[in-house]
Amino acid sequence: MKKIISILIILISLNTYAQDKEQEIKELQFNYLSFLKSEGYVGSIDQDGDIKFKYEGKTYWIWPSKSNYFSMSYYMNNKEEGCSNKIKAIVKAANGTLKATSVSILGENCSLIKINTETLLANPNDYKLLFNRCIRLIRLQVDRWREEYAKYQ
């Protein structure tokens, strides 16, 4: 009987945690969309719950996960090169250029290059102070990527 009660308590706790996490993500989505709108951007929520917005014609993504964590990403198409050694070498070289960003290969056939910046936040609204810096860092890393790519042409 004690085991059954223990299992029920654990299941109820897990369900409560999942509901709290879902509510936190919904609040983050609302906050991010409100901030984007106040800054003149049009944001939307994709099928995965990520925030999608455009900046100077390029699409960026914000991943809402925790109120003390901020992650922004940009994706580049890599369908032509695939998983070639050239692309792996460029990713490795690009990753060594900026501490605040990471470059990774995604997809079954390495069809996407992800440039990401992420940071822990002291206060939940600190992302507002870091927003423009994150975009600049991603754009700088895209430029570095292109420089590295040009070396292999």
Average pLDDT over every residue of 21-30? 90
Q: How many CA atoms lie within 13 A of 98 on its CB side?
A: 21
Q: Are 43 and 32 in contact (CB under 8 A)?
A: yes
CATH topology of domain 2-151: Yope Regulator; Chain: A, (3.30.1460)
Dihedral, CA of residue 8, residue 12, residue 14 and residue 17, to nearest 10: -160
Whole-number Cα distances in Å, 119 to 20, 60, 63, 102 = 22, 16, 12, 12
- The answer to whether the predicted template modeling score (pTM) of the entire model surpasses 0.75 is yes
| Domain parsing of the chain, residue ranges | 2-151
Please, which pLDDT band fits residue 14 given cuts at 50, 70 and 90? Answer: very low
Beta strand 58-62 with 101-106 is unpaired
More confident call, 136 vs 84: 136
Mean pLDDT of all residues in the chain?
A: 87
Q: Are 91 and 104 in contact (CB under 8 A)?
A: yes
Q: What percent of the chain has pLDDT over 70?
A: 86
Please, which pLDDT band fits residue 1 given cuts at 50, 70 and 90? Answer: low
Helices (H), 39-126: 85-95
pLDDT at 21 over 80: no
- 94-141 tens-digit pLDDT: 887 888 899 999 988 889 999 999 999 999 999 999 999 999 999 999
